[in-house]
Structure 1
Amino acid sequence: MKTRTVRRHRLVEHTIDGKTEMVLDKYNVDVPIPPRDWDRIVLAIVTAAAALIGIASITWSTASIGDLLARATIAPAAYAAAAVFDLVWLSCMALEWLARYDQERAKLPRRAGYWALAIAMVAVGAHGWIADQLAIGLVGAAVSGLAKAMWTVVLRHHAKPLDDLTQQWVDKQRAEAGGRLAMVSVRRELIRTEGLVEAERAALRTNPDADPDASGEPEKRPEPEALPKATGPMTIAEAIRTALSAGITDPDAVLRYVRRVADANAKEESVLRTLRSLRKSTA
């Protein structure tokens, strides 16, 4: 078995004149070299070949369809529009790949990719027919079809199919994650609203002339709605970051929010110290 030498480090005790210290000891060790993964190498080569085929398809289709469209408009606009034909079905295949663990979501980009491919092939064939070179047009249209077929085979080989029970489990996990992401924007909006109310109250407390009521009685304002409970456990630092991202800068408002969603017994000094530290790091 082939091996290779690797330099490693470890802490060892070293004593001089009766005083012991932990020092760094460097030593070499021979580790076995794993055999070549030929399956992975072949798959990488095939994927690279599919990428080259896709580039060739885009080049040919753009040149062919661009020459067709240039008969009715300027060349730069014609060739820019021609590049769209193959880029659309390639983008649809990329979206299909991203949805490989959700067959329902993958259906739409798959169907759209086939329609975009058909339109591109018809456009290439039409160019050959108009140029009195129908055979060349048909062969050129086949280039896009072969590129699509090659990418379909490669992506299917990369994809890992899921059984029905596993698919249901993945769908529920994705739904839960989506719900938590949706609550982020809702929570920020609520925090921002509460921060504005607190700032307005602070302004009224510091400005005695701000009371529009001649009787001198403070205007009764509805209490802000309570913030929803956090969807997951939050540390004091995370709660402070959330409050700052929502636009709350008043230390008292930040402290109240931290005690509400993170730690009801959070010390004011600790919260203010963390708040100052986060402000310095983001300044």
Structure 2
Amino acid sequence: MRTRTRTVQVPGTHTINGQTMPVIREQQIVEPVPPRDWDVLATRAAVTVIVVLTTFSVVWSTVSIARLLGGGWAATLAAATFDAAWIVTGVIAYLVRHQPDRRAVVDRGGWALVAVTVIALGVEGWRTSGLAAACAGAAVSLIAKGLWWMFDRATRAPLSSDDRQWLAGRRSQLGAQRALLAMQRQVAREQAQVAELAGSTPPDPDRPRGSTQVDLDPPQVDPTPALESTPTQPSPAPTAQVTAPQVDPRSTRQVDPTPAPGRPELHAVPDQVDPADLDRARAVVAALRRDQIAPSTEQIRRRMGIGRDRARACWLAIQADEADPARRTA
């Protein structure tokens, strides 16, 4: 038995003055040489020869068919398609080598493409050099395809009928799992999109695009004012000249330009308040108070589905209406 010496690295430890450190030592080992695998060598040699002959076939077919097509770079590219097509079918046949039904379809397609190449080479040889050249030239691609076919038949693993049925059943199970995974990925993507859309809030139609202003609710006004300790006497009418405010003619709410005696200005109530919005806002405020929820601009906006500016105007108008009778009573 033949042997060979090989150097290997072995981990170990080395101690000096009581200090131990890890080290790597080299060690020579003798091992038997395995016998030469002639099957593997023969397979490599056969594959190498077939690849070289296939390369010659591709070159010959490309040059001949390009000459048949009139020459030029475009004709050369088109001619290379003939042999490249049946070579690709050989690769596909190897991928489906354990699936007889699919393999049969691929094999028929490969032989059909080889027949097309052989016909094209025969026509080109008949035109240039006669029948003998046509037959010899057409046989080049046929020989290359035949070598690959015989190599596949010789190296293909034989399977019994039971083995093929078991393999087909197992492949069906794996295919079902792969299809299920693809469907689950698709459903996960759709659920993520739905969650993203559900989590987003609709934009405010009354706010200008690109605005970053933050709306704050106005301070809550106690509808029941504190009673004064002394009775209030009506104050004389002011003698100062008061300029009437500018009233929008489109406004439906009339503003008294002259302040009443003893009634200070409470809030700057907006001039334009839609009566329909104001009625709905009063109903919303009443419902919030029944539910023991503090009314605010945001609560009115959410329940009415309007913009913040319209909700704020309604809330200020309601506060002013609730505060005025209390002031007169006081």
Superposition TM-score tier, normalisation by shorter sequence: 0.5 to 0.7
Which residue is equivalent to 1:29? 29
Change (3 A) 1:47 1:217: farther
What is the match of residue 148 of structure 1?
145
CA shift for structure 1 position 109: 1.2
Structure 2: stretches of 5+ with no match in the other structure: 206-297, 306-330
> 1:101-250 maps to which residues of 2 (within 5 A)?
101-204=98-201, 216=303
CA separation in 2, counterparts of 1:166 and 1:101? Answer: 11
CA RMSD, 1 decimal: 2.8
Distance verdict in 2 for CA 1:208–1:136, change over 3 Å = closer
The equivalent of 1:91 in structure 2 is 88
Instruction: Call closer, same or farther: CA 1:200–1:119 in 2, change over 3 Å.
Output: closer
Query: Is the contact between residue 66 and residue 79 of structure 1 (CA under 8 Å) also seen in structure 2?
Result: yes
TM-score (norm. length: structure 2): 0.57
TM-score normalised by length of structure 1: 0.66
> How far does residue 132 in structure 1 lie from its aligned partner after superposition?
4.6
Q: State the alpha-carbon separation in 2 of the partners of residues 50 and 111 from structure 1.
A: 21
Q: Say if 1:50 and 1:154, in contact at 8 Å, map to a contact too.
A: no
CA separation in 2, counterparts of 1:185 and 1:130? 54
Residues 83-117 of structure 1: CA deviation (Å, up to 9, x unaligned): 12122222212211221111111101111111111
Instruction: Name the larger-Rg structure.
Output: 2
C-alpha displacement of 1:15: 4.8
Q: Give, in whole Å, the separation in 2 of the partners of 1:141 and 1:150.
A: 15
SS in 2 for 1:216: helix
Go from structure 1 to structure 2 and tell me whether the alpha carbon gap of 1:192 and 1:130 turns closer, same or farther (over 3 Å shift): same
- DSSP 3-state at the match of 1:51: helix
The Cα of 1:196 is off from its aligned counterpart by 2.3
1:65 aligns with 2:152: no
Change beyond 3 A, Cα 1:69–1:14: same
Q: Which stretches in structure 1 are left out of the alignment for 5+ residues?
A: 219-283
Tell me the equivalent position of 1:51: 51
More helix by share: 1
CA distance in 1: counterparts of 2:92 and 2:203, whole angstroms: 60
Paired residue type of 1:85: F
Counterpart CA distance in 1 for 2:141 and 2:24 is: 61
Q: Could you tell me how far 1:7 is from its partner in structure 2? A: 2.9
